[in-house]
């Protein structure tokens, strides 16, 4: 039997999902991440989950892997020393940025430092115009001297090559990249025409710089991972998740690590969309709360929302424009600095603040008993009775409640002159409110009415906070899917191999015909397909979709229009109708008679769908041979009345049709579902728990 494994590395835990070839038998595992070398936790965890389920490594067909390694490296500035070559005279673009303030009235606004500092940037004599005309041929001797100075004097390990208008003609960038590769074979080189061949140089250069910055680290990590898995006896295929919900071969991931920035969280959102289709819930709010951060995303009409714009390293977690802007295909998500390890403290104003600083996996929250002295969100949830100290990770890891109480008393309760219980509730409720506020902003910016949607909650801590967040947002239904604690690892198994490319080429539609329109897509189709061939996908199994970014001539912003399947020439004859239909959806009207201008040409190549469905069964180890799902009761805190005796259920023993009135706690090895007073939960036919407001 061929098995598949999904592995998702988080800031605190690494999650594993083992699924059989029929997609019906599922086993899951969770263990602490090893920050000094994340590959060690992956290799150890793969061995552990296989041994626990008597599966031989030779029977594993593929391993799908997602990681926040690149994101964390950018935020924490742990990437390689990176140099940059730019068109002469444009070395300060990384400092001037977009010249936009994310807060007009705050005179102290701060922005993240450029990923490549000014001393590591060099100008090169060359110039290509926006229409492809070459004004100054690239001076290769000048470029060689600049590279040599950066390598010898500045000791760079990676190089970003970013010239003006290289998206029109990449010849200058590629000629310099060849020189760099010949002169310094160990140098990791990224050219913007390969990483992101689009107009708007600041975002293109930032994206390329981050790609170069992360390449050495990603290469070494994947090398360790592949070697370790090979030593276990793994002979199948390893795939790496991208931010857009597709899979890449390791060779491609090494070249484009910037595409891995949201790889793990994207898998969870993808699985939430699968859950929505299975449960006939077209509009879904995906909520993932792990050990370090929370992620929110929106699914509209069963399809996850996508974008090509994202930010990392925000100075202000909720303010768009306060981070480094990137242009890569990505599932549209909001990141919130709240997780089980988020630290609670009293700020300079005397107010309680939770996150974004995290205790991480080492030492972790105080309750882990590993030396942590600061109060974290998990400490509060333990004191409130939401977590069972003897059943964390199914009893494999015992939590220290007294250590949690001591940390909360010292860091929060004493400064605020509160009892430990009230301080713990304040930490829990503050985290839930922060998450709800972030969701409100994210949904409002996208015109998404979450009040008629359903929430799918997952992650190690997500099921504990889903109901409080849903109550604040007036969301009527919350779904706790089976395997919620390792849901992103499951989502990795639902993702097909895919690669997407976009290239800028400004064209007025009236100036071309259908044949020229089709020819614009052909090189993109060939490049995208080549990356899938590299991963072992045959030509007949590749499906192609095409989009364009288009606008009325003279406008500043464009909208994306997806072309119908088939020959693009046929779509060209209906281009205005397609555009105005989409324009009316976005802006409610489309009555201008102006010419149409195409800005970007986009192609997505996708391999076979893995066919992931819900309805799989977890291996329910009852341990004590009980048949009654009710495990007992314990005192659990609910504001404003305080502690009350609350029933505790074993999720593995719940059968379809079971009704559970709130308040209640439903425990599984990797997470705990909190059902708040006034709500009633039931178990559906696929063993998901669905909580709704009682009539």
- H helical segments located in 168-262: 171-183, 192-195, 201-232, 250-255
User: What are the CA-CA distances from residue 465 to residues 158, 351, 358, 431, 503 (Å)?
Assistant: 42, 21, 17, 8, 41
Does residue 617 surpass a pLDDT of 90? no
pLDDT tens string 643-654: 999 999 999 899
- Residues 552-557 have a mean pLDDT of 90
Q: Which of 166-175, 227-236, 329-338 has the lowest mean pLDDT?
A: 329-338
Question: Which helix or strand (DSSP H or E) is residue 399 part of?
Answer: none
Per-residue pLDDT, 323: 86
Q: What percent of the chain has pLDDT over 70?
A: 97
Distance CA 13, CA 364 (A): 10
Give residue 37's pLDDT band: very low, low, confident or very high (50, 70, 90). Answer: confident
Scan for tokens 């263990």, then name that residue: 31
Domain ranges of the chain: 3-74+219-240, 78-217, 498-606
Question: What's residue 392's pLDDT?
Answer: 86
The C-alpha angle with vertex 293 and arms to 290 and 297, in degrees rounded to 5, equals: 90
Q: What's the pLDDT band for 459 if we cut at 50, 70, 90?
A: confident
pLDDT bracket for residue 84 (50, 70, 90)? very high
The pLDDT of 80-93, averaged and rounded, is 95
pTM: 0.85
Find the angle CA(565)-CA(567)-CA(571) to the nearest 5 degrees: 75
pLDDT at 348: 85
In CATH, what class is 498-606?
Answer: alpha beta
For the CA atoms of 144, 149, 150, 156, what is the dihedral angle to 10 degrees?
Answer: 110
Q: Which residues contact 68 (CB under 8 A, 6 or more apart)?
A: 9, 10, 11, 262, 263, 264, 265
How far apart CA 499 and CA 605 sit, in angstroms, is 5
- Tell me what the pLDDT averaged over the chain comes to: 90
Over residues 588-600, the pLDDT tens digits come to 777 778 899 999 9
Q: How far is C-alpha 63 from the geometric centre of its chain's CA atoms? A: 18
In this predicted structure, what is the pLDDT of residue 591? 72
198-229 pLDDT tens trace? 988 999 999 999 999 999 999 999 999 999 99
Q: Is the pLDDT of residue 623 over 70?
A: no
At 347, the pLDDT band (50, 70, 90 cuts) reads confident
Q: Is it true that domain 78-217 has CATH number 3.40.1360?
A: yes
Please give the radius of gyration of the chain, using alpha carbons only, rounded to the nearest integer: 26
Grade residue 317 by pLDDT with cuts at 50, 70 and 90.
low
Mean pLDDT for 278-304 is 89
Residue 355, both tokens = 């996150």
pLDDT of residue 622: 41
| Average pLDDT rounded to a whole number, residues 253-260 | 94
Q: 276-313 burial string, b = 16+ CB within 10 Å, else e?
A: bebbebebbbbbbbbbbbbbbbbbbeeebbbbbebbbb
CATH architecture, domain defined by 3-74+219-240: 2-Layer Sandwich (3.30)
CB 689 within 8 A of CB 480: yes
DSSP code per residue over 613-677:
-S--EE----SS----SEEEEEEEEETTTEEEEEEEEEGGG--TT-EEESSEEEE-SS-EEEE-T
Q: Which stretch of 7-11, 363-367, 396-400 has the lowest confidence by average pLDDT?
A: 7-11
């Amino acid at each position: 039997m061929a098995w598949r494994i999904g592995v998702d590395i988080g800031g605190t835990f690494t999650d594993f999902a083992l699924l059989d070839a029929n997609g019906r038998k599922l086993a899951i595992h969770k263990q602490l991440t090893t920050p000094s070398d994340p590959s060690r936790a992956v290799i150890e965890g793969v061995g552990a989950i296989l041994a626990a389920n008597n599966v031989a490594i030779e029977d594993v067909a593929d391993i799908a892997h997602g990681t926040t390694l690149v994101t964390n490296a950018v935020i924490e500035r742990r990437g390689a020393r990176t140099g940059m070559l730019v068109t002469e005279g444009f070395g300060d673009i990384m400092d001037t940025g977009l010249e936009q303030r994310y807060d007009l009235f705050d005179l102290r606004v701060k922005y993240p430092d450029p990923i490549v500092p000014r001393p590591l940037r060099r100008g090169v004599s060359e110039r290509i115009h926006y229409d492809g005309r070459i004004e100054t041929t690239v001076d290769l001797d000048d470029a060689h001297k600049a590279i040599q100075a950066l390598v010898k004097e500045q000791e760079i390990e990676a190089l970003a090559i970013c010239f003006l208008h290289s998206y029109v003609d990449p010849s200058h960038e590629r000629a310099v990249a060849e020189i760099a590769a010949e002169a310094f074979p160990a140098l990791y080189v990224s050219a913007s025409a390969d990483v992101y061949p689009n107009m708007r140089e600041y975002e293109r250069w930032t994206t390329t710089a981050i790609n170069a910055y992360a390449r050495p680290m990603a290469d070494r990590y994947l090398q360790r991972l592949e070697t370790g898995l090979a030593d276990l006896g793994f002979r199948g295929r390893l795939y790496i998740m991208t931010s857009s919900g597709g899979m890449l071969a390791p060779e491609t991931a090494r070249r484009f690590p910037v595409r891995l920035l949201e790889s793990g969280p994207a898998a969870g959102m993808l699985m939430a969309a699968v859950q929505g289709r299975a449960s006939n819930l077209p509009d879904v709010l995906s909520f993932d709360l792990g050990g370090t951060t929370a992620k929110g995303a929106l699914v509209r009409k069963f399809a996850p929302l996508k974008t090509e714009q994202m930010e990392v390293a925000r100075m202000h977690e909720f303010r768009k424009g306060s981070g480094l802007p990137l242009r890569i295909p990505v599932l549209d998500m909001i990141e919130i600095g709240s997780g089980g390890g988020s630290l609670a403290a009293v700020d300079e104003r005397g107010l309680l603040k939770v996150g974004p600083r995290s205790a991480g996996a080492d030492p972790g929250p105080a309750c882990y008993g590993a030396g942590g002295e600061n109060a974290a969100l998990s400490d509060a949830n333990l004191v409130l009775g939401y977590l069972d100290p003897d059943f964390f990770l199914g009893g494999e890891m015992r939590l220290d409640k007294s250590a949690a109480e001591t940390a909360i008393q010292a860091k929060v309760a004493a400064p605020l002159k509160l009892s430990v219980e009230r301080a713990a509730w304040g930490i829990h409720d503050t985290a839930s409110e922060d998450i709800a506020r972030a969701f409100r902003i994210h949904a409002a910016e996208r015109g998404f009415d979450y009040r008629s949607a359903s929430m799918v909650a997952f992650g190690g801590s997500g099921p504990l906070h889903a109901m409080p967040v849903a109550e604040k947002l007036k969301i009527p239904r919350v779904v706790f899917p089976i395997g919620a604690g390792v849901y992103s690892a499951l989502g990795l198994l639902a993702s097909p191999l895919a690669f997407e490319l976009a290239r800028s080429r400004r064209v007025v539609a009236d100036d071309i015909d259908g044949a020229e329109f089709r020819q614009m897509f052909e090189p993109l189709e060939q490049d995208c397909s080549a990356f899938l061939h590299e991963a072992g996908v045959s030509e007949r199994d590749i499906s192609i979709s095409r989009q364009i970014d288009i606008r009325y001539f003279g406008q500043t912003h464009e909208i994306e229009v997806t072309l119908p399947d088939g020959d693009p020439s046929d779509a060209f004859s209906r281009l205005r109708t397609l555009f105005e239909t989409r324009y009316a959806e976005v802006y409610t009207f489309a009555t201008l008679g102006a010419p149409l201008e195409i800005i970007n040409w986009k192609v997505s190549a996708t391999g076979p769908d893995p066919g992931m469905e819900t309805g799989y069964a977890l291996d329910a180890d009852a341990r004590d041979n009980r048949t009654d799902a009710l495990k007992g009761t314990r005192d659990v805190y609910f504001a404003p009345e305080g502690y009350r005796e609350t029933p505790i259920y074993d999720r593995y023993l719940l059968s379809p049709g079971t009704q559970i009135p709130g308040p209640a706690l439903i425990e599984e090895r990797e997470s705990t579902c909190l059902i708040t007073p006034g709500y009633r939960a039931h178990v559906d036919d696929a063993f998901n728990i669905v909580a709704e407001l009682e009539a």
